[in-house]
Amino acid sequence: MTASLSDALVLFGVTGDLAHKMIFPALYAMVKHGTLKVPVIGVALPKWSLERLHKRVTDSLERSGGIDNQRTLHQLLSLFKYVSGDYDDPNTFAAIKNALDQARRPAHYLAIPPSLFEIVIKGLGAAKLAEHARVIVEKPFGRDLASARELNRVARSVFPEDSVFRIDHFLGKEAIMNILYFRFANSFLEPIWNRNYVASVQVTLSEDFGVKGRGAFYESAGCLRDVIENHLFQIVALLAMEPPAERDFGAVHREKAKVLRAMRPLNRDDLVRGQYAGYRREPGVAKNSDVETFCAMRLSIDSWRWAGVPWYLRSGKYLAETATEIMVELKPPPQRLFADSAPISGRANYLRFRLSPGAAIALAARVKLAGKDFVGDQRELYLSEEQPGEEPPYERLLGDAMAGDGALFAREDAVEAAWAVVEPVLKTHHRARPYKRGSWGPKEADAFIAPDGHWHNPGPKEASE
């Protein structure tokens, strides 16, 4: 399939929350920037009028930051058509084909529950709506290895792999893209970016809020499935991958997949699960629920570069801060030349990547204090990466998918390799430990990392430790 622009967008689930919160603002921005000029066919079960859909779009934009250009709003609304129908009814797809009119290269966006993916993909195939088309699928891509394989099989039976775009909005964030750039656009990292100099790596994605009324969803997912298996594994892949052989995103995908395949499958002792106080009182949550709202894991990558280096991943709800940070701790110098240079209670040199809130990169190094004695302190060299006018993730990813650019999307082999790592602990694991809201999770997580130091807890500001 040639990388031609899609000439229509078919938005399944147009009346849903995802469209309201994320997709409509992205479409508005695309119209504003001149990158969306094709028809948008909204599809959903409710028998709405086009006027009611327009009100829904307008409400979304007013809630997400306001409408700063009435002409852009009118242009966006003029692109919409609406098809009401059941996804397992062939007449719905016939109506979509009619609404597409002369469009021959549509992009079908499945902003719907994962349980409906197979029905819609098969419906598109049966209605001959998949030829020269693309399909955009929202995460989660399955809930275990078997379901991921089945979803990939169904998608492949209708669309070629390069026409399947698996959206993980995390990959569209500017700070995530900067990890790849920073690693391979600079030469000073490569000599130390290996098991000889790196003592450990930590990745923390923390949120200071709970499940926000999505208890029923979280009961079917949990922190491991919702955040770690996808978002944090993608960060690890970018940090641990080998340099791609060429400036080609296919090569980047291949190297990321190699990292995921080199990850050692987890066992129950590699995992600490936690549940915040009061979770069982959330609507839709079982009274005796063991679903984890916090998860910490120790990961091993069995590769030449990373053998023996522990990777600690952590994420959770109702933690002390909302932040995403990476801490790459380096080994101390081989000889203690200065009495204060060995990390007794503090850390050795480290690199710190702050992804949110606010993107930054910091390098910690010891510097001598003024005076006769050879004593010093560890300071951070701090580089802020905040840039005005950053493109929001959904605008970037939706535009890329419609242009056929798969650089920032998850690939089939990587999805299945990630599920293979967590498969052993999806059902066989220790019980979730309780923790207080506003803490950094259960105390067992601190004991878990103790052999290799202590957790780096992101602060509200970029202050160094």
Distant-in-sequence contacts of 254-261, Cβ < 8 A, 24+ apart: 256/414, 257/411, 257/413, 257/414, 257/417, 258/303, 259/301, 259/303, 260/233, 260/414, 260/417, 260/418, 260/421, 261/417, 261/420
Residue 140 preceded by cis peptide, ω within 30? yes
Of the residues 54, 108, 169, 231, which is catalytic?
231
> In whole angstroms, what is the distance from residue 66 CA to residue 64 CA?
6
Q: Could you count the other beta carbons within 10 Å of the beta carbon of residue 419?
A: 25
> In whole angstroms, what is the distance from residue 318 CA to residue 265 CA?
28
> In whole angstroms, what is the distance from residue 93 CA to residue 85 CA?
9
Write out the E strands in 1-160: 8-12, 40-44, 80-84, 106-110, 134-138
Helix (H, G, I), strand (E, B) or coil at 83: strand
429 is known as an active-site residue: no
Write out the E strands in 300-420: 311-316, 323-330, 350-356, 360-368, 376-384
Cα dihedral value 240, 300, 206, 65, nearest 10? 40
Taking a C-beta distance cutoff of 8 angstroms, is the pair 430, 271 a contact? yes
The residues pairing with 352 across neighbouring beta strands, listed in sequence order, are 327, 362
Residue with tokens 């280096």: 309
SS3 content of the chain, % helix, strand, coil (to 5): 40, 20, 40
- Active-site positions read 231
